[in-house]
Every structure is written in structure tokens, then in C-alpha cells.
Chain A
Amino acid sequence: MGAEGELSGAGKLLALVFMAAVVAPNLVAVAIPAESWPYTNAPMFAHRVAPETPRYAFVFAGQTRAGDFVELGYYSAGARWSLLRLFFKFVYGAVPAGGAFCVYPDDDRTRLEERLSRFFEVFVDRYHARRADAEPLRSLVLGVTPLQGASNQRGAMRRLGVYDVARRSYTHEWESPS
């Protein structure tokens, strides 16, 4: 291409290929829908929330060797930001298969326990390293609690499973009533 000349046929073709390569992955991400940053189906704020919509929060309840329970936030393991988003999407796993946040469409109990074992192993190691002054943990209970009302009052925790620190293994305990 000259400074002011017309684009040649090859130049036009090259420009078209370049444009397609840039735009196509974005269109695919929207159509499937799929998510692998920076390609996204843009689900920010897309889920309807009404006063009656159930909302929940995960609970990490550590049990010390002395038997006391201590609730662990994401910052306990040194993350300055909300580790719970990553935990929910990439470790615990969202449903439904094909949904905007679902990473493990063919998930099962064994795979879930493997992921959670690995995550909690690192989480607890980091916690112990950062909180050398704190009572060491014997286990870590994973639960989920409903959030109620405008002030997000927490309801009774539903126990989902437990990570055994000595065995470095997570056991998922929740059984849906058949």
C-alpha cells in the first residue's frame, strides 16, 4: 500500500483476515456462550436479583486442634482480593452445564473432592504460614449460608463437606434428598 494509493487485493484480503481473527473469537464467546479472558459473553449484572431471590455465601470454618471454630475469610490466606469468586467458579464449580459461570460441565463427586483437596491444602498451608501465632487447624468445614434481607443477615449454615488437614483430603458430605 502506498501512502495514498489504493489497497491492493492482497492488502484487502489481509485486512479482512485480520479483522475476522480479532472479531470471531468474541462472537463465538457470545454465541456459545464461553468465557476465557479476554473473551467473554459479558454476564456482569445479567442475573436478575429481586428481594425474594435466594442469595448465599460460602463459609470456611476452621476447627483448631483445641476444638475451637474460627471463620476464615479470603484474606486469611494472603489474598488481598475476593478469592471466593475464583473458588466458586474454578474450584467448587457452578451449574448448570452450559451456564455462563460453568467450567466443569461433566463434574462429579470424585473430581470435586480432588479439586477441593488441592485448594484447601494450599489454603491451609498459606494460613498456617501467615498466622504462625494462631492455633493450628485440625480441619476446615465448607458450608453455605443464606443471606437474608437488605442487611444480608446470615442464616443457618448448610454443611457441605470437610477438609482433614492431617490427611490433606476433602470429603464432600452433602447428600441431596432423593
Chain B
Amino acid sequence: MGKPIVKATSAAERWLFRRQSPYCLGILRILLIGYLTTRIPQLIADVEVAAELPAEFMAPGILLRWHPLPFPFPARWIGGFQTVMMQLGILAALGLFTRATGLLFAVGYIYLEAIQSAWGWHDHGPSLVVQVVAVMPFLPGVDSLSLDLVWRRLFRPRRGQPLAAALIGAAAPRWGVQLVLVLVATFYFASGFAKLRISGVEWMDGQTLAFYMSGNSLSSHIQQIGTLPSVDAAERWRDGIGLTHYLYGARPVDLARRMAEIPALMVVLSVATIALELAFPLVLAGGALRTGLLLSGACFHLSIYYLMGISFFPWTVIDFAMIDWRSVAGRKE
């Protein structure tokens, strides 16, 4: 009885604390914060609109209620806040005072996304991204590929250390990389699980995907609301219907509309979607599974963006950055 526990503990310890090259976190920091920095002006523009709205038109989530910065956003902050956030983003992406600038960028970025998400969305896109941004400054090895390491190399060179090794940084405990992967896996799994929990296996009959890919979710400023057949009669007291959810919007291209007319294709893509999302926790096994799932996730989001106009680009960036490229190249730690 004791031996399996010891073995499991030892395996868990290796999984979390064995040292490895932290370059993944360096790539993640550069690409993700770099990309998010380019989005700051748009976020500020949205927040500027929100600043003029009454409190009754907003529904702040738990993070915004606890955030140290004031809500609603003070209108007089707008210009200065954008300048500071852009500068912090550039510094954090390049890795100058990496943890400090990353932390300050995270505080501001979470604030902006929280305001933008305070109007009734159920959008898990920013939910994953802000959590990755929030934990990044605390992860071992996040300063990999940073100006901080360039500085260190210039002024405190270690004899015999190649430049590339100095830039990548010392091996760090794996828990930083594993935490990001756990978050990614949780969100993908939650998405697949929600489809089965709410709609059952019928979600895979292709009809839902066909609905969104055919453009029927677009209704010219009309927000579509849905109901479920399972709603109790007692719960229909407001309207006799029992409204359960709102529908999302997709802006499909012609190719997607033509694909939506092929029922078998819709079934295959629906099943593949659920399979990919539910299988995502296997990314934690590492190796080929990690590479395959992250590459599939990145391709999944790019194809959704192209076909349906739904952007999960920061997820694509995270998937791409977290691929263990050394393992792909056949190099061992």
C-alpha cells in the first residue's frame, strides 16, 4: 500500500519540480504580452465607452470588485493609462525588470479586460488569458530570453557559458510551465464538458455547428435568446417560455456557409471539437501528446477565426508558445 503512494509522490515531485530549460516561458512572455500590448488601444477605447455608462449597465465580476484600481474607470485616466500600459507591455515582453514590469502590466491588463467583460459576456477567451498573464510574473524561468539576462551576461559573464545558454537562462523547476498547461487544459476541458453537460451527446449531431457556420446567428443587432426543452413549467413563470441562455454570434465566410450545407462534415467537425477539448488534459503527459494537442488547439482556433470570424488569437499564441520545441527537434533536457 505504501509503495504505490511513495512512487506516486515521487512522480508528482518530478513532474512539478524537476528542472528544465525555461525557454517556453520566455517565448510565451514575448509573444503573449507582445500581442496583448498591441490590443491595449482597443481595450482603452472600449473602457472609454464603459466609463460613460451608468452602473446599472455593467455587471462587474469578482476580480473587478476586488481590484485595487477604481471602477468605473475614471475618464481622466484614459490617455495616461494607455501610455503607461503600452510602455509596461513593451518592457515586460522584452524582459526588462521582467517580474516587476510583468506584474504591473498584469494588474493593468486584468483591470481593462475585467471592465470590458463586465457587460454580461460568458466569454472564456479573456478568462484564460488574464490568468496566464497574472501568474506569469511569479513563475520560475519567466525571465528566459529577456534583456535582464542579456544585461547579466554582459556584466556578470560566466566563463565558458555559450551566449544562447545565457539568454535562455538556468534550468528552472517545471511547475511554472506545468501551471500554465494546467490552466490551458482546464479551459479546453471545461468548454467540451459544458457542451455535453448542457446539450448532451446531441451537441455532436452537427446542427449547432451548422447553425453558426451558416450565419443564422447573425440577426442585425438583435440578441438571440434560447430555451431548453428540459425547463420545468414552474420555471416558466416570467414569460411562459423559460429563457435559459443567449446565443453567440459568428460571422462565417462563404466557404463556411457551403461547409454548413454538408451534414456529415458538420457531424465530423462537431465530434472532433468535443474530442479535442475533452482530451486536452492529456497535454499534461508531455511529449508527443503535448505537442500534438497544442498544435491541434492552435490550428483549431485559426480555422475558427478564418471560417467564422471568432477570434481566440491569444489562445493560439499560448498554444504555440507552450509547445516543447526542443522535444519536437528531438533534443533531450
Contact = CB atoms under 8 A, between A and B. Distances in A.
A43 B245 contact: yes
Interface in B223-247: 223-228, 230-233, 235-247
Contacts of A112: 238
A136 interface: no
B227 to A, nearest CB: 6
B63 to A, nearest CB: 6
Nearest to B249: A82
B231 A51 contact: no
Contacts of A46: 191, 194-195, 197-199, 203
Interface in B293-311: none
Interface string A61-79: 0000000000001110111
A88 B241 CA distance: 14
Contacts of B198: 43, 46-48, 100
Interface stretch (B75-83, B205-213, B322-330): B205-213
Contacts of B126: 37-38
Given A51-B207, A54-B227, A94 B243 contact: yes
A95 B235 CA distance: 7
A54 B226 contact: yes
Interface residues of A, number: 84
Contacts of A160: 238-239
Interface residues of B, number: 92
B114 A30 contact: no
Nearest to A86: B120
B208 A49 contact: yes
Interface of B: 13, 16-17, 19, 49, 52-54, 56-59, 61-64, 110, 113-114, 117-124, 126-128, 130-131, 134-135, 138, 140, 170-171, 173, 175, 179, 182-183, 186-187, 189-191, 193-195, 197-200, 202-203, 205, 207-208, 211-212, 214, 216-217, 219, 221-228, 230-233, 235-248
Interface of A: 1, 3-4, 6-7, 12, 15-16, 18-19, 22-23, 26-27, 29-30, 33, 35-51, 53-58, 73-75, 77-90, 92-97, 99-101, 109, 112, 118-119, 122-123, 126, 144, 147, 150, 152, 154, 158, 160, 172, 174, 176-177
